Amino acid sequence: MKTRSSLAQSARLMERALPLMPGGVSSPVRAFRAVGAEPVFIDSARGSHLYDVDGNEYVDYIGSWGPMIAGHAHPNVVAAITHATAKGTSYGAPVAAEADLAEAILRRMPSLQMVRFVSSGTEATMSAIRLARAVTGRDVIVKFDGCYHGHSDSLLVAAGSGVLTLGQPDSPGVPAVLAALTVSVPYNDLDSVRAVFNSRPDEVACVIVEPVAGNMGVVAPAPGFLEGLREATREHGALLIFDEVMTGFRVAHGGAQELYGVQPDLTTLGKVIGGGLPVGAYGGPSEHMSLISPSGPVYQAGTLSGNPLAMAAGLATLELVSAPEAYEKLERASARIEEGLLAAAAEAGVRVTTGRVGSMLTLFFSDRPVRNYEDARACDTQKFARFHASMLEQGIYLPPSQFEGWFVSLAHTEEDVERTLQAARAALHSLT
């Protein structure tokens, strides 16, 4: 069993970073707090592999939390960014590349007639709910426990991802008067959504949902859930927002809205459409999007929105996942990993379940299926932490939280999969 050589340089770099940046990191979940391990500093990456500053090599299942669907440092993406960089890095002016990426997105998602680029998923969802409030003239938003839509005030309520990982589903600093306008209900529970509409008729501006939840671990929508949201929002004059920051062009060529055949009013995007550079986007019908400044009164802006390098990286990445075979390859590798994990757990006598849609999956340390936040919270996070530590020691780099998804890329090989399953067998046996 291959184990890591040293972590001395990572430790030294964390010692240096800690007094400079909160937790020594630029995003909380990277601090590995939930798994009680020391984070490794990454020096480089290529394909499906990461290389840390001590020279240890890992098979990577974080993929920068989703963007690296074509693998790290893909030659096409590197060439696109390099070509763009040689002409300058940012102009604060329109560039043709914005329309290039916009056309690529609209071709894949017919529910979008227009799109606005921003620099993160947080900006995308924050802007989409502002637009929904403007379109409807209403203030209340409905979200789902355990879903995470970035860290804007209105959406940091019963949130998933890092806030759930760190056991802080709500955050200090969010004014109570604002949080009161956000109603969070259980995922996959249509009755609770209908109850909100019945109790606060004409107040709900939008329902925002991860069409496949990825921030309490991967949880698929129950049959009829998304269709029910579409029907309830239409019936009550609220907008349906699909937050496809994670699922967009990840779970299917046209995202979750293609996979499940449900068209939202607004869609938010990120991750894959930036190919590893900072890009977010929100879009929908022209009648709504034309309300966005400067064509309309709803203000939203960004110094680096539509950055030419980020547009080039996003377009090159989308082109790499444009053939149907790409999703077939992702499906085969991801299904192989899922069935291998389940077999290894059964062999070791460890009770687990899995959540998977396409190339995003989670191994839950739970003896029951995970269908919502309450189920996810019942997972054995200590056992997950021990599993994570063993996998990391064996050179398999997993998200450092039970409440995150693993991401498979086009670069993951048969050998990567077999190495992962071999490590998982050892890790699971070490738990018994």
Site for ligand KE4 in 45-74 (CB under 6 A): 65
Asked if 405 and 246 touch (Cβ cutoff 8 Å), the reply is yes
Among 148, 242, 282, 373, binds ligand KE4 (CB under 6 A): 148
143/371 with CB nearer ligand KE4: 143
| Cα three-residue angle 158-146-65, rounded to 5 degrees | 120
Separation between Cα atoms, residue 28 and residue 31, nearest integer Å: 6
- Smallest gap, in angstroms, from Cβ of residue 31 to ligand KE4? 10
106/166 with CB nearer ligand KE4: 166
Q: Give the active site residue among 60, 143, 145, 148.
A: 148
- Smallest gap, in angstroms, from Cβ of residue 27 to ligand KE4? 3
Give the closest residue to 211 by CA, choosing from 251, 177, 171, 182: 251
Give the closest residue to 66 by CA, choosing from 170, 187, 166, 212: 212
DSSP 147-180: ----S-GGG-SS--HHHHHTT-SS-TTS-HHHHT
Going by the DSSP 8-state scheme, the letter that residue 3 receives in this structure is -
35/246 with CB nearer ligand KE4: 246
| Binding of ligand KE4 by 27 (CB under 6 A) | yes
| Piece in contact with ligand KE4 (CB under 6 A), picked from 1-9, 40-48, 210-218, 302-310 | 210-218
Give the closest residue to 59 by CA, choosing from 417, 422, 320: 417
| Piece in contact with ligand KE4 (CB under 6 A), picked from 4-12, 32-40, 163-171, 208-216 | 208-216
Q: Could you tell me which residues are beta bridge partners of residue 50?
A: 45, 58
197/373 with CB nearer ligand KE4: 373
- Lay out the sheet containing 360-364: strands in order across: 353-357, 360-364, 406-407
Q: Is 356 exposed, middle or buried (0-12, 13-18, 19+ CB in 10 A)?
A: buried
Q: Give the active site residue among 60, 145, 243, 380.
A: 243
Separation between Cα atoms, residue 261 and residue 227, nearest integer Å: 9
Residues that contact ligand KE4, how many (by CB under 6 A):
21
Give the closest residue to 404 by CA, choosing from 66, 53, 13, 1: 66
302/340 with CB nearer ligand KE4: 302
Q: Give the active site residue among 61, 145, 271, 282.
A: 271
Q: Is 357 left (phi over 0), alpha (psi -120 to 50) or beta?
A: beta
Separation between Cα atoms, residue 334 and residue 281, nearest integer Å: 27
120/317 with CB nearer ligand KE4: 120
Among 98, 145, 210, 393, binds ligand KE4 (CB under 6 A): 210
161/394 with CB nearer ligand KE4: 161
Contact letters for ligand KE4, residues 255-294 (x by CB under 6 A): ---------------x---------x--------------
Among 54, 145, 404, 416, binds ligand KE4 (CB under 6 A): 404
Q: Which residue has the tokens 């799109």?
A: 115
Residue closest to ligand KE4 when measured from CB atoms: 121
Among 67, 71, 146, 150, binds ligand KE4 (CB under 6 A): 150
256/341 with CB nearer ligand KE4: 256
Separation between Cα atoms, residue 25 and residue 171, nearest integer Å: 18
Among 39, 71, 146, 162, binds ligand KE4 (CB under 6 A): 162
Residue 271 designated active-site = yes
Q: Is 382 left (phi over 0), alpha (psi -120 to 50) or beta?
A: alpha
Residue 243 designated active-site = yes
Give the closest residue to 181 by CA, choosing from 247, 136, 116, 124: 136
R_g (Cα) of the chain, nearest Å? 21
| Binding of ligand KE4 by 356 (CB under 6 A) | no
Going by the DSSP 8-state scheme, the letter that residue 35 receives in this structure is G
Among 39, 47, 71, 121, binds ligand KE4 (CB under 6 A): 121
| Piece in contact with ligand KE4 (CB under 6 A), picked from 71-79, 143-151, 324-332, 411-419 | 143-151
**Which residues does the annotation mark as catalytic?**
148, 243, 271
Binding site for ligand KE4 (CB under 6 A): 27, 29, 65, 120-122, 125, 148-150, 161-162, 210, 214-215, 243, 245-246, 270, 280, 404
